[in-house]
Structure 1
Amino acid sequence: MPPSKRRRESAWKSRKQNQHPHGRISSLHELANEPSPDAQSDRTDA
């Protein structure tokens, strides 16, 4: 494989592996402490 092709494929793989389309989550602890968007605290039918 020529060096230019190897460089191109390496760059493509690194871009694919380092994607964060919705923003990066820094830790699972932070994710667990966030309120869920579908949680309803003020339900009137209960």
Structure 2
Amino acid sequence: MTPTAVVMMIIATLTIWGGLVGAIVNLVRHPEVAEDEPSPPVEL
């Protein structure tokens, strides 16, 4: 592989994994609130 291809592969890999890590950090800091969801119907 050429040096240009290696650099582009590293940039793409860091972008994908960086986005994943950023999404996980965002969910840990601001978890989704379950109170917004309606309660399930009660079976009688």
Taking structure 1 as the reference length, the TM-score comes to 0.48
Q: Which structure's residues are more often helix, by fraction?
A: 2
Q: Which has the higher contact order (CA 8 A, sep 6+)?
A: 1
